[in-house]
Structure 1
Amino acid sequence: MMKRLTMLLTLAAAATTLMNGCASPEARYYTLAASRSDAAPAVTGRASRSGDPLWIEVTPVRVPERLNRIQLVVRDGNGGGLRLSDTSRWTSPLPNELRDALSQQLQASLDAVDVYQRGLSATQPAFRVTTDVVALDADVGKRAAATIAWTVRRLPDGKVLSGRTEAEVAAPGQVEGVVKAYREILAATAADIAVGVQSLNR
């Protein structure tokens, strides 16, 4: 009886080890939001001439359908194909990650308040920011690049300023390097948009 019990316990331990060995690697989650130390520095002087808060509305970012998912999409290194990484994921769908990161950067650099989904002030000028990701890709361990078209519309008069940010940044290391490179690209995009807002606010 004891010998049989020992055999059963040994088989159970072996099965557990086998199951653990076959388990899928645990997914890691990433965000494009900058850490406090990486946040954009405020511009010299307030962007609002009246001293009141500067109202901005950062709308959802449009991305190509192939990128509209929770997994990171990177080049697979074989003939320019793309690969979805099931073990490297965004904390929210990519359009949300991009919008939140841009909003964070613009609020910091412009000393502004993002009123997206909260309603615009009826008495103060506001600036609606729309962005379209034309291209966004990365070679893990090499580089990340993006082309982002953006528009700033002053409300209520509707005056518009449009621009396009193109950037390529080194992305050494593994996926963490790609995420860091994307953050740098978004910071550059936010800096260009901030200049547009300031131009319309004169």
Structure 2
Amino acid sequence: MMTLRRYLPISLLCMASLLAMSACSSTPRQYHTLIPTQPAATTPVKKADFQLQLMPVRIPVQVDQPSLVIRESDGRLTILENALWASPPADEFHDALAFELENRLGVRDLAGLPGTAEQPVLTVRTDVRRFDSLPGSHVAVDVVWNIELSNTLDNKKRGLTCASVIHEPANHELANLVLAHQRSISKLADAIANTAQKWKANPTRGCP
């Protein structure tokens, strides 16, 4: 007596096997952001007598990746495929810095919108030369930044270029590493805001 058997197409069997393997081996993805829940500066600030315009941030292409990139002790870079940024790192850095500067200066970032002609505009440009993450050690950022004060009423401009190198300790946890980067951006905002306010009042003042 012949026994009839049902056979699934080979393509369906392969697909089922792949799905099963993926379900067993997949690691949940985690998303991180450089924007803190609360700004580091919480004391009331006097509203600046200028408007703020933060330009797009430049960041090294090696770390401008969807995934977090960490630096090993031997100089190698490791891309963590399951640890992702909520948005591109350059945008994360820009938005975090804008968040901190707004809190320190008491004004909102114009974000490309036209301002009022009655007040000068402080334009901030940042070139991130290093954005290193070393688990169990520290994070490091090296930023060259420029502030430019322009007045549409008299069409006058003046600028100042400075640099900040900031190190923050970090342990092996990724969340702690991200928090260390948040603190470094907070310190960068301190330097930019303090310099801008003093330089606005006294043009002979230089970099910190």
Q: TM-score, normalised by structure 2?
A: 0.80
Contact 1:43/1:110 (CA < 8 Å) preserved in 2?
no
- Once the two structures are TM-superposed, the CA of residue 34 in structure 1 deviates from its matched residue by 1.2
The one-letter code sitting in structure 1 at the alignment partner of 2:42 is: P
> Partner residue of 1:8?
none
Instruction: Find the counterpart in structure 2 of residue 169 from structure 1.
Output: 168
Query: 1:71 — aligned with what?
Result: 67
CA contact (8 A) 1:152 1:196 kept: no
Residue in 2 that maps onto 1:7: none
Asked if 1 retains the 8 angstrom alpha-carbon contact of 2:65 and 2:88, the reply is yes
For this pair of structures, how many residues does the alignment match?
184
Q: Does 1:80 align with 2:75?
A: yes
Contact 1:55 1:126 in 2 (8 A): yes
Structure 1 residue matching 2:100: 3-state secondary structure: helix
> Would the aligned equivalents of 2:31 and 2:85 in 1 still touch at CA under 8 Å?
yes
Provide the C-alpha distance between the structure 1 equivalents of 2:35 and 2:103, rounded to a whole number of angstroms.
Answer: 12
Alignment check: 8 A CA contact 1:56 1:128 kept: yes
Q: Is the 8 A contact 2:30 2:84 kept in 1?
A: yes
Question: Which one of 11, 16, 20 corresponds to residue 23 of structure 2?
Answer: 20
Tell me if the contact between 2:45 and 2:104 (Cα under 8 Å) persists in the aligned partners. no
Q: Judge conservation of contact 1:154–1:200 (CA < 8 Å) in 2.
A: no
Amino acid corresponding to residue 89 of structure 1 in structure 2: L
Partner secondary structure for residue 47 of structure 1: coil
Higher helix share: 1
1:63-142 to structure 2, matched below 5 A, reads 63-77=59-73, 79-142=74-137
Query: Following TM superposition, by how much is the alpha carbon of 1:17 offset from its aligned partner in structure 2, in angstroms?
Result: 6.1
Q: Is the 8 A contact 2:45 2:106 kept in 1?
A: no
Cα distance between partner residues in 2 of 1:173 and 1:65:
24
Question: What's 1:46 paired with?
Answer: 47
Residues 19/151 of structure 1: CA separation in 2 closer, same or farther (3 Å cut): closer
Query: Secondary structure at 1:66's aligned position in 2?
Result: coil
1:59 equivalent in structure 2: 55
Deviations 1:58-108 (A, max 9, x none): 11110111122211111134x211011111111000110000000000000
Q: CA deviation at 1:159?
A: 1.0
**Same amino acid, percent of matched pairs:** 25
Cα 1:191/1:159, change in 2 over 3 Å: same
Unaligned runs of 5+ in 2: 1-16, 202-208
One-letter amino acid matched to 1:137: D
Paired residues of 1:161 and 1:196 also in contact (CA < 8 A): no
- Mapped to 2, the partners of 1:81 and 1:173 lie a distance apart of 17
For structure 1, the 5+ residue unaligned runs are: 1-14, 49-53
What SS is found at the alignment partner of 2:123?
Answer: strand
State whether residues 51 and 109 of structure 2, in contact with CA within 8 Å, keep that contact through their aligned partners in structure 1: yes
